[in-house]
Amino acid sequence: QVQLVESGGGLVQPGGSLTLSCAASGRVFSLNTMGWYRQVQGKQRELVASHTTGGTTAYGDSIKGRFTISRDNAKNTVYLQMNSLKSEDTAVYYCNFVGYGDAEILDFWGQGTQVTVSS
């Protein structure tokens, strides 16, 4: 099992910034990908950003240039710096962990944290 603890969501005005963090514990394989997805009610969950232990990052098209993902491998923690927030960024943000073992792949989700962008 992998436990994911998310923090940093909340209410912010348009144009503002927020930082989300997600810490993984438990069966954290040394080779893994951690990332953030978001979901608006009635819509599919979409990739925001992901970061492998090797340093490869990926970003969703809607947030490129505004959000930055980083991680601290020693702490098994991933961060999402969100700048220039827009009302359409309002969603529940979920942390995702995918661990690659010799004979198995682990896939876990956090409980989600609400981000609301509103004046």
- Rounded Cα distance between 41 and 83, Å, is 23
CB-neighbour burial class of residue 97 (10 A; exposed 0-12, middle 13-18, buried 19+)? buried
- Residue-wise pLDDT tens digits, 41-94: 999 999 999 999 999 999 999 998 899 999 999 999 999 999 999 999 999 999
**Closest C-alpha among 107, 65, 101, 70 to residue 86:** 65
Residue-wise pLDDT tens digits, 35-49: 999 999 999 999 999
Mean per-residue pLDDT, 88-102 = 96
Residues 6 or more apart from 103 whose CB is under 8 A from it? none
